[in-house]
Structure 1
Amino acid sequence: MMNCKTNLLVLVLSCFALITFGQRTVAPLPKCKNGFIVIAHRGSHLVKPENSIAAIEEAIELGADYVEIDLRTTRDGQLVLIHNETVDHTTSGKGRIQDLNLDEVAKLTLNAKDGHLYSLPSFMEALKACKNRINIYLDFKQADVAQAYEEIKAAGMEKQVLVYINKAEQYTAWRALAPQMPLMSGLPKLIKKEEMITFLDKMPLEATDNISDPTVVAALKESGLSVFLDVQMADEDPVKWKVAMDKGVQGVQTDHPEALIKYLKTNHLRDGLKASGL
């Protein structure tokens, strides 16, 4: 997720700068029982396939607060979970997801390390698996906003989804159709406090990511935003997690939810550094 979205930030925000949305209001984020948020990137997918129901279920069992999933659309207009534009890397098939009908997608198997067979799930299947069990961090890759929102409502998940937007038109559509839905997008990593205020006046958000300056993080929090850092990588470790926490962020997105949660619990950090008195 991180590589794709980073390249879009400047373009997206330059588009937003042409739009005025008036006074900023804050939609509440999904409720979490823990003070420091753990987001399982594409589910718990070190063994289970990424963006699979099995990876979602494992994230739930581990006690993650959110599961991050990627949303795209098939040729016949069905919403499914997949990160890449093509199915080549993660399934037994070939081609772009937008060129395959749902019945073709249903015949694919996800690449798995445990020898089991897993299918590429629909958005509705993921919503049902998560309802009242874990929140969704929805990376809105390529999908129709109205359709996605209808499926969220049909599943009764309106208060359990945070939407990560990647395009200006996604932002305007979500704000028009579901103004109460919390939205998240990236800001330039080197943004200054004054620039941040201008951006948020034009593009009200509830959350953002990957701001490295602690003073900007503090200013964002004062403005009502949550800040989540991406720490997902093969060599995640306590040093990297502590560096992220020291920036004052509310949570992180990880490829190692089991190890991170164990670290947080062992060091009494499940509610963050301030709560622990460190």
Structure 2
Amino acid sequence: MTLSILVFLLLLAGGFPSEAIAQTVLPESRHTPLVIAHRGNHRKQPENTVASTKAAIQAGADYVEIDLRTTMDGHLVAMHDGSVDRTTNGKGLVKQLSWSEVQSLRVFNDNKRPHRVPDFEELLTVCKDKINIYLDFKEADVAETWRQIRAAGMEKQVVVYLNSIEQYDEWRLITPDVPLMTSLPDSIVNEDQFRDFLAHRSIVVFDNIRDPKLLAFAHQNGVQVWLDVQQAEESPDTWRPILSLGVDGMQTDHPAMLVRYLEGR
């Protein structure tokens, strides 16, 4: 039987068994747990900009979180919200604006220095060999995103966060190797349900597991847990309860401070 026929029959049968799911490898990181700069180091510079990305690198973070969307004419840009209203001097939905229109916008910031909305290619260049990317895949073209990641030689420096199960299918059609991350569904409350979920999806990181039994089960199955700790005010008192859970990563609004704390422990 040829490999292509075997794959086809497995798909007809409902997917690959758990032991056959592709085992992806996470990027290397300096810290344990690793540090993720939420929307870049955006307490220092405007979120999702080149400046906040460079500030995350300077802070020593392991990852910079980048939110990705597609313009009306198919250009990949960094923008958290569906619209540009909150963060720029413009109005409208990203998907209804052209790249030329988005380029003309200016991003709001405290020091009034001009910043612009960067495209994904520029951020890939800034990050290469300096920091990993936690790609919060909001609403973008999967094939074009992966093409740009490969063209930049960043295949081993990116983890993709999925916001829906439909995105999982799209990504796995394009590549079996990119590390995928998502939230564990609220309906999964025990190890048997968790095992079944992992048997059908190659997910290597979850961002919402706090139950000690499920967290231990994740670790037993080679799966990591990165929790969000970001808030306006953070301190060791904020982080200690999260660290006590034994998590593998923390997403923060204060990456430099968290890096100093972890390195000083």
Q: Settle same-fold status: TM greater than 0.5.
A: yes
Unaligned runs of 5+ in 1: 1-18, 268-278
TM-score normalised to the size of structure 1?
0.87
Structure ID, larger Rg: 2
User: Percent of pairs identical after alignment?
Assistant: 46
TM-score normalised to the size of structure 2?
0.91
Distance across 2 between alignment mates of 1:25 and 1:241: 33
- Correspondence for 2:4: none
Cα offsets for 1:52-74 (capped at 9, x unmatched)? 01000000011000000100000
Unaligned runs of 5+ in 2: 1-13
> Bigger CA drift: 27-36 or 61-70?
27-36
Distance across 1 between alignment mates of 2:76 and 2:16: 29
- Correspondence for 2:15: 20
- Correspondence for 2:141: 144
| Count, aligned residues | 250
Shift of 1:33: 2.4
- Correspondence for 1:256: 254
Secondary structure of the equivalent of 2:66?
strand
CA RMSD, 1 decimal:
1.4
> Structure 2 counterpart of 1:262, which letter?
R
- Correspondence for 1:89: 86
> Structure 2 counterpart of 1:249, which letter?
V
Do structure 1's residue 134 and structure 2's residue 131 form an aligned pair?
A: yes
- Correspondence for 1:271: none
> Bigger CA drift: 126-135 or 160-169?
160-169
Secondary structure of the equivalent of 1:199?
helix
Distance across 2 between alignment mates of 1:74 and 1:35: 37
Following TM superposition, the consecutive aligned residue runs of length 4 or more in structure 1 with deviations greater than 3 angstroms are none
Do structure 1's residue 234 and structure 2's residue 232 form an aligned pair?
A: yes
- Correspondence for 1:185: 182
Distance across 2 between alignment mates of 1:58 and 1:146: 29
> Structure 1 counterpart of 2:239, which letter?
W
Distance across 2 between alignment mates of 1:243 and 1:188: 23
Distance across 2 between alignment mates of 1:167 and 1:77: 20
The 8 Å contact of residues 67 and 137 in structure 1, kept in 2 or not, is answered as yes
Distance across 2 between alignment mates of 1:92 and 1:191: 44
Distance across 2 between alignment mates of 1:74 and 1:27: 30
- Correspondence for 1:16: none
Cα offsets for 1:191-243 (capped at 9, x unmatched)? 22221111111222111112111221111011011110001111322112111
Cα offsets for 1:11-55 (capped at 9, x unmatched)? xxxxxxxx6343333200011122320000000001310000100
Distance across 1 between alignment mates of 2:61 and 2:107: 23
Shift of 1:147: 0.5
- Correspondence for 1:15: none
